[in-house]
């Protein structure tokens, strides 16, 4: 396997190949033809077609995209094994791979997603309630200003009316004093 690994490294100019390139290199002969019918079907129909979908959308095909396409076609990695790599290679050794989530891990992931959705909904509701409260506060402030203005106006009218009445009484008293 070490010779095969060395050959693969040489074919990709000494750098680590992404998972799709690695699959293609390990499942094709030196002539470039696939080693078997299943490999040919995976390479031609699945991997190339899915990668083409990303390229058609003008998305950059990063390692993350390669891992997503690889997991879509071949399924997620299971039981802490990594397909196509040497024996003893585990998930930790290959960053970015998509792994199978089982049991409690799957439940935790679901609960975490549900919690995030509820948190976002609660935050939206809080923003809505704050906005509603500030609008209500503004309406009450405007209403209190209007009531105060109305009371001042009524007070001014009553003061004017009171002054007229007092003036009228003063004139009446003056008139009575003059008569007497």
Task: Walk along the chain (180 residues) and give the pLDDT tens digit of each residue.
Answer: 456 556 665 666 666 666 677 777 777 888 878 888 888 877 776 677 767 776 777 766 666 777 677 776 766 666 655 565 555 555 545 555 556 556 667 678 888 889 999 999 999 999 999 999 999 999 999 999 999 999 999 999 889 889 999 999 999 988 888 887
For position 131, what pLDDT does the model report? 96
For position 144, what pLDDT does the model report? 95
For position 1, what pLDDT does the model report? 44
For position 150, what pLDDT does the model report? 94
Cα(28)–Cα(84) distance, integer angstroms = 13
Cα(144)–Cα(150) distance, integer angstroms = 10
Confirm whether 39 is domain-assigned.
yes
Confirm whether 23 is domain-assigned.
yes
Distances (CA, A) of 139 to 78, 83, 129: 61, 66, 15
Tell me the whole-structure pTM to 2 decimals: 0.41
Confirm whether 100 is domain-assigned.
no
Cα(156)–Cα(7) distance, integer angstroms = 101
For position 125, what pLDDT does the model report? 96
- Which 3-state string (H, E, C) describes 106-143? HHHHHHHHHHHHHHHHHHHHHHHHHHHHHHHHHHHHHH
CB 45 within 8 A of CB 58: no
Name the domain count of the chain: 1
Q: Give the tokens for residue 173.
A: 């008293």
Q: Give the tokens for residue 41.
A: 């079907």
Cα(125)–Cα(131) distance, integer angstroms = 10
Rg (CA), the chain: 41
CB 68 within 8 A of CB 49: no
Confirm whether 152 is domain-assigned.
no
For position 85, what pLDDT does the model report? 58
Cα(179)–Cα(84) distance, integer angstroms = 128
Confirm whether 44 is domain-assigned.
yes
Confirm whether 77 is domain-assigned.
yes
**Which SS3 state, helix, strand or coil, does residue 99 take?**
strand
Confirm whether 109 is domain-assigned.
no
Segments forming the whole domain that contains residue 56: 2-93
Confirm whether 125 is domain-assigned.
no
For position 180, what pLDDT does the model report? 72
CB 97 within 8 A of CB 67: yes
Which own/partner pairs from 137-140 qualify as long-range (CB within 8 Å, at least 24 positions apart)?
A: none
């Amino acid at each position: 396997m070490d010779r095969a690994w060395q050959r693969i490294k040489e074919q990709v100019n000494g750098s680590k190949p992404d998972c799709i390139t690695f699959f293609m290199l390990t499942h094709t002969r030196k002539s470039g033809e696939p080693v078997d019918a299943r490999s040919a079907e995976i390479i031609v129909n699945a991997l190339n077609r899915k990668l083409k979908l990303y390229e058609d959308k003008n998305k950059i095909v990063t390692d993350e995209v390669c891992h997503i396409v690889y997991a879509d076609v071949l399924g997620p990695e299971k039981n802490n094994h990594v397909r196509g790599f040497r024996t003893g290679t585990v998930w930790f050794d290959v960053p970015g791979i998509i792994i199978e989530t089982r049991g409690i891990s799957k439940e935790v992931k679901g609960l975490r997603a549900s919690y995030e959705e509820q948190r976002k909904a609660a935050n939206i509701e809080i923003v809505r309630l704050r906005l509603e409260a500030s609008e209500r506060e503004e309406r009450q402030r405007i209403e209190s200003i209007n009531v105060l203005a109305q009371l001042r106006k009524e007070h001014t009218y009553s003061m004017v009316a009171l002054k007229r009445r007092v003036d009228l009484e003063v004139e009446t008293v003056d008139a009575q004093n003059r008569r007497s």
